[in-house]
Amino acid sequence: MSASPYAAVDTVIFDLDGTLIDSEPDLRAALNQMLASLGRRTVTRAEVVMMVGDGVPKLVERALRITDAERDLAPEAAVAQFLGFYEAAPADLSAPFPGAFEIVRVLKADGIKLGICTNKPEAPARDILAVFGFLEFFDVVIGGDTLADVRKPDPRPLAAAIEAVYSQPERAVMVGDSANDIDPAKALGMRSVAVSFGYSRGAAAALGADTVIDDFSELREVLVGLA
């Protein structure tokens, strides 16, 4: 059996929205269905990109605020309505980012343990992964509701993902597109890779990741080069 080319890594944890999957179109569609039912204006892609990443309650709260800050509405009801729309069609308009499926398949074939750590609820996260053929490659999926509503940037969901695959932070790498991915990795002493094509609210280079990639074709070389 040949030696692994990965001297320092046995686990890679990916964020989902804005990292593996461009899920914004389906999020926007569900938000706009919810907003239309409330008689409010629709939101644009640029607006939704700036709102995602902190879980469904925050996404809905931000959509309500920017469409009519003066009208009071019980956020719990709006969240439930949004989830009804979204969970009915979580992947109709979404698509993997270029090279995402290929790098996941290559890493799995190389013997790397793979996980997802996302603030999206676990059930639709699994549905999306299944639709695009990713689910079979992942050893663990941690969603925004997996740990009783503990979400990134709290490091506990990421720690749970690493523990589930029997790895250690120093042997794992987080791949994501926002501070919610990079900051918990730092807190755990993990290395991190930021993607430049995701939903970061600023430049990916400003997130403080160990490396920034512009395309998934770069990721294997980055991981192999870690010492």
User: What are the residue numbers of the active site?
Assistant: 15
SS3 content of the chain, % helix, strand, coil (to 5): 45, 15, 40
Q: Give the pairing type, strands 191-195 and 140-142.
A: unpaired
The burial of 3, by beta-carbon neighbours within 10 Å (0-12 exposed, 13-18 middle, 19 or more buried), is given as: exposed
Nearest CA to 133 among 106, 175, 104?
A: 104
Q: Give the pairing type, strands 211-213 and 95-96.
A: unpaired
**Cis peptide bond prior to 153, omega within 30° of 0:** yes
CA distance 70 to 64: 10
| Side-chain half-sphere CA neighbours of 106 within 13 A | 15
CA distance 226 to 192: 11
